[in-house]
Structure 1
Amino acid sequence: MYDPRQRPVALRLLAAGFTIAEVHRQTGVPKSTLGYWKKHPEKAASRTPPLCPRCHDRAVDPAAYSYLLGLYLGDGHLARQHNGVYRLEIACSDAWPGLIDAAAEAVGTVLSSRVGRRQKPGCTMVGSYSKHWPCLFPQHGPGAKHTRKIELEGWQREIVDARTEEFVRGLIHSDGCRVINRVRKRLRGGDRWYEYPRYNFANVSLDIQRMFTGALDRLGVEWTQMNARNVSVAKREAVARLDGFVGPKY
């Protein structure tokens, strides 16, 4: 695997008339790749691969990454392909087409790679191929997330602390929802029903739950642990706070 930053250099050298052997010596790009580029310069120029923010010291968009990290921890996974490339996939319900578009935009912004959509029963898998997805999501590992330790690395915590709202939004868009809760109160004159909005977040992984509730604490949003896997935000002021940057799925 050659350094993607050498691609424009190699293309300029080829265009200037340097031999494939000399360009290989100067850039490290495989000779077979250089031969293809020399034969198809238009295709080579239009297929500039994305640079990994972790490997090539490229700034990552903090808002897009924090949101995508929330989506990944909830409904995302990495699948290794036979050639060593990984496919990032985010499962998005077809009931929320706006969420599908938001996930695709975040994937493209974070790694500037081609983003595809694969249809499955009831959902759309938003995905992208790259050898560098494990660099951006080191939480990847064998087995389901709730069966192993999940924790953020230092550079991820810095981004999440700076863009906490986007992180919470991604978690809720993946494993949460905004619903209208109905409560019946029995009175002498008859039953009366009360309705109020609330947010629910459900994840089996205790580590991911703690990331979610820790983020809520930093934002000053009150929450309640409903059971082993569910966290609720029901206080009027807390719901209003989340409505300001999350809101219902669409």
Structure 2
Amino acid sequence: MEQHSPSIRAQAVALMRQGAPNRLVAEHLNIPRGTVGWWRSEDRKARGERYEQPTDCPNCTGREFDEIAYAYLLGLYLGDGHIVSKTKQHHLSIFCNATQTGLIAAAEEAMRKVMPLPNVSQRHKTGCVEVKSYTRHWTCMFPQHGPGKKHERPIVLEPWQQGIVDAHPWEFVRGLIHSDGCRITNWTTRIVAGEPKRYEYPRYFFTNVSDDIRRLFTDTLEKLGIEWTHCTRNGNPYNISVAKKAHVALLDTHVGPKY
């Protein structure tokens, strides 16, 4: 490791104590950023200072945040989201189809709007993109996090979350459908003037194993005046269908297909 004079180290420490970030100190003194980080850590230890990662968590700081983006992100999290919260690893992940670049961008944008400070990245896997935001404070924003799978534990919104969903129900529905839903075109045949005629009609599906998450979805649909039905497949009542023409049109206006 390259040795630096005590005067250079003293200058670096002085700048850091004035609030300069590691990058600027390293550039100003033409020394490696890793060296600056080490000196900062040693200076904190010498002063008995405990480092706290800066956060812009709305729940911890009380700051205002983008509730529209949060309602959408809540829907994504309840559908295809996952939080890792370990001693040295904390992040929120939203899993997206790799071909749906619009969804990937929307998930990343929602994360940044709710908490701009944490780093956001994408991890590409076979047929899938994992959008990740790194901070332990996502558990503050999503208290539904817990051990095991979501359908194996109760999922109940906190009053402040329900207030956001009530204020922005379409964004919540959009997030749920963009995660665990789809828009498809069904068809059927009818006899017209003695001849079979094919009819096509669009419908929306939402599929989730959790009874609680499906109930959150259907409760919100009902508040919006959207009629829905259960659609049992292979004996499993995990599918919610919206097929009435006028209500599909409303979903087209406010949700639309994933892309």
Q: TM bucket by the smaller chain?
A: 0.7 to 0.9
- What stretches of structure 1 move > 4 A for 4+ residues in a row? 32-35
Q: Is residue 2:206 matched to residue 1:201?
A: yes
The reply on whether 1:118 has 2:127 as its aligned counterpart is: no
Instruction: Note the residue ranges of structure 2 that are not aligned, 5 or more in a row.
Output: 1-13, 20-35, 44-52
The structural deviation recorded for 1:87 is 1.1
Aligned to 1:234: 243
**Secondary structure of the residue that 1:140 maps to in structure 2?**
coil
For 1:182, the equivalent position in structure 2 comes to 187
Q: Summarize deviations over 1:86-142 as a string: whole Å, max 9, x none.
A: 210000001211000000000111111221000111110000110101000100011
State the 1:36 CA deviation.
1.6
For 1:61, the equivalent position in structure 2 comes to 66
CA displacement, residues 139-191 of structure 1 (integer Å, 9 cap, x when unaligned): 00111111110000011000010010000000000000111111123557332
Identity of matched residues, %: 51
Q: Deviations over 1:34-85 (max 9, x none)?
A: 952899xxxxxxxx944110011011211000000000000000112442x4
- Alignment RMSD: 2.3
Which residue does 1:42 correspond to in 2? Answer: none
- What is the letter of the counterpart of residue 234 of structure 1? A
**2:83 paired residue among 75, 78, 84:** 78
Q: Is the 8 A contact 1:71 1:170 kept in 2?
A: yes
| Partner amino acid, structure 2, of 1:71 | L
Distance of 1:80 and 1:13 partners within structure 2: 30
Structure 1 residues not aligned, in runs of 5+: 1-10, 17-31, 40-47
Contact 1:118 1:124 in 2 (8 A): yes
Aligned pair count?
216
- The answer on 1:104 being equivalent to 2:108 is yes
Cα drift, residue 15 of structure 1: 2.5
Separation of aligned partners in 2, 1:239 and 1:12? 60
**2:173 and 2:220 in contact (8 A); partners too:** yes
Distance 1:213 1:229 in 2: 12
Bigger Rg, structure 1 or 2: 2
* TM-score w.r.t. length of structure 1: 0.80
Distance in 2 of aligned mates of 1:82 and 1:210: 33
For 1:239, the aligned partner's letter is: V
Q: Distance in 2 between matches of 1:147 and 1:202?
A: 16
CA contact (8 A) 2:16 2:40 kept: no
Judge conservation of contact 2:97–2:127 (CA < 8 Å) in 1. Answer: yes
